[in-house]
Structure 1
């Protein structure tokens, strides 16, 4: 689904990312790679391997849309305990496959204490926000005023849909006057149900499609 933001055409993708065609730029947030490994470190027996689905999905988007730049709006990994030997090998294969891509990572709240680990990968790391006119890319966990239109992640927005007997919660893109919040890209992420204002637009993500959800007055 293509929308206009700050006079730029942006395509919202059902894979829970966006494509800025003019820049050949793919933007996404909150992958939380290695969440299973972080839980294992804490004694929770969650099976490994979910990160492979997320990396495969990212590879599909990069190759399908001929992406040259990827901007990750924070929380690439889950914690400093995310990078097991298995995850490390898979990540190096992934980055070798996409060695022609320029990678930018905004450090989110989950990257705390993981800076040295992330230096093993080909990221241009940004500690705060990234001004990429007419946009301000930010994780969203710190408030900053800006003259640019803000695109952020962090909150993992979900929309609650009640239509007759139908009851469901779906990931969504939440568009406010000066801000677009992205759904979490990762397959092992939860979310928070938004309470949109009447003037907001909400784009729900279902399997292989995006559709607008009418906001209630």
Structure 2
């Protein structure tokens, strides 16, 4: 179950798949995938489980097909570090949709692949992307924005603590809205959480299973 919020009159749906959907534009937004992270660690000699990126590709494929997506914005940190074979798997995946979907990457601090790796992809690289309604997408918050603009960002991997009874506490990814800044959870499976709390000035929308629930 998704959670609908309205930003500058535009319906925006927060999805339990750690992504955001704007039906007016058939637009899907994904942040901080950090593809290739485990493969990077293994190449550096750090023992981690063997990664299976196909699981995450399949999750994205379902969203594309069910929501009839026409545009995808990756809010930075798409790939974790230097090139490894998972980048080629990603290129093959988006190549299948190159005539159907416009792909945009608002470049993040982890997007350090050499320019040649991007040249033969369907990705358009930008610093930020603006919708006519006054919604601007970027990896990190932009300074000096006009007061009417909402800024949708990633970068910090927001999370929250939810009491689960029997003295148990769950650490869950969440969306964080404070003022005109909406921070998205990390799409990637192997990312940490920056724990936030409700403070009276913000709203936290926790991803609990297949639902997105506002914390009070």
TM-score (norm 1): 0.90
Aligned to 1:153: 154
Aligned to 1:53: 55
**CA separation in 2, counterparts of 1:9 and 1:64?**
18
1:52-77 deviation digits (Å, cap 9, x = unpaired): 22211111111100000000100110
**Dislocated runs of 4+, deviation >6 Å:** none
1:8-30 deviation digits (Å, cap 9, x = unpaired): 10011000001000011000100
Q: Is the 8 A contact 2:35 2:87 kept in 1?
A: no
Query: How many pairs were matched up?
Result: 209
Aligned to 2:206: 204
Aligned to 2:188: 186
Q: Tell me the secondary structure at the aligned position of residue 109 of structure 1.
A: coil
Q: Is the 8 A contact 1:161 1:169 kept in 2?
A: yes
**Alpha-carbon deviation of 1:39?**
0.5
Counterpart check, 1:111 vs 2:111: yes
User: Which ranges in structure 1 are unaligned for 5 or more consecutive residues?
Assistant: none
Counterpart check, 1:70 vs 2:69: no
Q: Is the 8 A contact 1:50 1:188 kept in 2?
A: no
Aligned to 1:91: 90
**Alpha-carbon deviation of 1:88?**
4.2
**Alpha-carbon deviation of 1:154?**
0.3
Q: 1:120 to 1:37 in 2, by over 3 A?
A: farther
1:156-192 deviation digits (Å, cap 9, x = unpaired): 0001123652311100000111111000001111111
**CA separation in 2, counterparts of 1:157 and 1:23?**
26
User: Which ranges in structure 2 are unaligned for 5 or more consecutive residues?
Assistant: none
Q: In angstroms, what is the RMSD of aligned CA positions?
A: 1.7
**Alpha-carbon deviation of 1:195?**
3.4
**Alpha-carbon deviation of 1:117?**
1.9
**Alpha-carbon deviation of 1:145?**
2.1
**Alpha-carbon deviation of 1:151?**
0.2
TM-score (norm 2): 0.90
